[in-house]
Chains A and B, each alone.
Chain A
Amino acid sequence: MRIVVPLKQVPDLVEELELNDDGTDVDREFLKFVLSEWDDQALEEALLVKEAVGGEVIVVGFGDPDIELSLYTALAKGADRAVNLTGLGDGWIDSHTRAATLAGWISGQEVDLVLAGVQAVDDLDGQLPALLGPTLGWPHVGVVISVEGKDNTIQVSQEFGGGKSARLEVKLPAVIGVQAARAPARYASITRIRQAQQAGGIEEVAVSPEGAAGIEVRRLFAPETTGHAEMLTGSPEDVADRILDLIRSKGLLK
């Protein structure tokens, strides 16, 4: 089975997000970028499927900041090929553009399955897998928590609220939006990642952007908080006393 896993870098939300001068995007200059956490889950699920039924995992980047490290890390974890689609620019790359560009690349590759992160923290114009499916004319299922393959079909579990999930059967080729892999994402040691970097092997493919989101972002702004927590400060002992008093005030501690 040939599985493609698109990988996307997003701003690390641990960092403060500053806005650019016209307020329509985050200021990307000093931001730290990390692999989108759902993409890491999709990669893990792809590696599990490959281990179960054989095949090949191809990770595909979009030229995002520091994507090379994520691609090399994926190779160190067991991906077979890494491709970086370059030429999409330095700013926010919307999901419509990513989907159309990826669909263009996939159409020449005899791909059976795309496992993509179900969402990302900056997919304001929609989630990549649900855009990619219709663009390729393939069935798609999102919010998936397990993928098991056999021959030309796969069975997936699609998660709903309250812990319910539906088992669906999907004929390949298909696009699956992964919410969580069946197992925690594996780690690649620094040594293995360095080995992958030294071996090289990222295939750079220059592309022209296709597609467009068709939305006009007027401005980004920090949410006005209707309320903010009253902050408890002082030593850990002081704060511990205050919190326990609050719980006691609800009659819930002796």
Chain B
Amino acid sequence: MPNDILVLADHLGGQLSDATLELVGKAKELAGSTGGQAVVALLGAPTLADSVGGADTVLTVDHPALANYTPEAWEKTLLAICTERQPRLVLIANSTIGMDLGAALSAGWKAPLVAYTVGLEADGGDLVATAQVYGGKLLAEVALTGDHGVCTVVAGSFPAAGAGAGSPAVEALAPPAGLDDLKTSFLTMVEPEGGDVDITASDVLVSVGRGIGSQDNVELLQELADAIGAPLSASRPVTDSGWLPKTRQVGKSGLKVKPKVYLTFGISGAPEHLEGMRDAELIIACNTDEAAPIFDVAHYGTTVDLFDLVPAMTDKLG
């Protein structure tokens, strides 16, 4: 309804994401200001309704085409729900699903979107979002002034208050027309390849980023990692370039790690990376750019050139 805050439940393989619970908690708070309800749209997995007790209402839609996520089936369904119920605001996690559906809903429902949202407040009749831009180097304060809006929200922005012990009303909706005739079909889920070092199990990680310059320099860092007794991990540009295997990637699209010590070299700290490592107990960062966002989450930092620092560290351990 017009004052409702609607959350799209983000789930994969029968698992509801933590980000969904963060959004439900925020939706509940905002609904208090707008005078509406916190409503969760749960597509394709009706049994997960119990997991979002903090919501006022859970809308479930069940259809074979929704069981395994495809953007087309979920988009049609979400658009039908929004068109029918016209919520004030739709919150979607900035996950793979959110990257597909946030902008698509904005286009289909003709509602403005704020992507990479990290803060959200009611300001009189307006909703004001704060969002990351330029790789997290700046924040943008954006007003959603119309009747409707969409925010895709970065994981970890709000407390996970949505699990709640309430008993939301569960409303089963009929699937929209067109789900039997789609141009996108799900084939299979591919699990990550095993066999390599498990970086999530290590107490210390030596993590390398684009700043190491080239694959030739991986060896220099490997020598330090060996001397410390830690595996090498990496940020996305390093694994995308094939300098290290994908199994070493830390971040939103890689693995979440929580070692006792996380040592970074040449990592600037893009939001994608920070999402995977910010809970490490002790973060020590080396980057020549003193304004690099990595220094905002690191406990200790240095702008000494890694090509001077790394051999010095390795020598001292030799």
Contacts and interface: CB of A to CB of B under 8 A. Distances in A.
Interface of A: 11, 13-14, 16-17, 26, 37, 41, 95-96, 99, 118-119, 121-131, 133-135, 139-143, 155, 157-171, 174, 177, 179-180, 183-184, 213-223, 225-233, 236-237, 239-244, 246-247, 250, 252-253
Interface in B260-318: 260-261, 263, 268, 281-285, 289-291, 293, 295-305, 308-309, 312-313, 315-317
B194 to A, nearest CB: 10
Interface size class on chain B is 35 or more
Given A139-B71, A141-B70, A236-B309, 13 more contacts: A124-B133, A127-B115, A130-B107, A142-B96, A161-B256, A163-B191, A213-B113, A218-B128, A225-B296, A231-B303, A243-B284, A250-B260, A252-B261
A231 B146 contact: no
25 contacts: A13-B268, A124-B114, A124-B142, A126-B113, A127-B102, A130-B100, A131-B103, A133-B104, A139-B71, A139-B182, A139-B183, A142-B71, A157-B190, A161-B96, A162-B256, A163-B249, A167-B188, A167-B190, A168-B184, A221-B141, A222-B139, A232-B302, A242-B300, A244-B317, A250-B282
Interface of B: 12-13, 68-72, 75, 95-96, 99-104, 106-108, 111-116, 128, 131, 133-146, 152, 182-193, 203-204, 228-229, 236-237, 240-242, 246-247, 249, 252-256, 260-261, 263, 268, 281-285, 289-291, 293, 295-305, 308-309, 312-313, 315-317
Contacts of A119: 99
A188 to B, nearest CB: 17
B187 A167 contact: yes
B115 to A, nearest CB: 5
Contacts of A217: 140-142
B25 to A, nearest CB: 20
A130 B309 contact: no
Contacts of A140: 71-72, 100, 104
Give the interface SS of chain A, mostly helix, strand, loop or mixed.
Answer: mixed
Nearest to A123: B115
Given A124-B115, A143-B99, A167-B187, A247 B104 contact: no
Contacts of A133: 104, 107
Contact of A170 (B142, B183, B190, B295): B183
Given A17-B138, A216-B142, A241 B316 contact: yes
A16 to B, nearest CB: 7
Contacts of A177: 99-100
A247 B131 contact: no
B189 A247 contact: no
Given A16-B291, A41-B240, A220-B140, A124 B131 contact: yes
Contact of A163 (B254, B302, B309): B254
Contact of B242 (A179, A184, A225, A231): A184
Contact of B302 (A143, A171, A180, A233): A233
Contacts of A169: 184-185, 187
A16 B113 CA distance: 27
Contacts of B313: 240, 243-244
B133 A125 contact: no
Given A216-B143, A219-B141, A164 B103 contact: no
Given A124-B140, A164-B12, A164-B189, A216 B282 contact: no
B304 A236 contact: yes
Contact of B141 (A118, A160, A165, A218): A218
A145 B280 CA distance: 28
Q: Which of A160, A170, A229, A230 has the most CB of B within 10 A?
A: A229
B71 A215 contact: no
B136 A163 contact: no
Nearest to A249: B282
A182 to B, nearest CB: 10
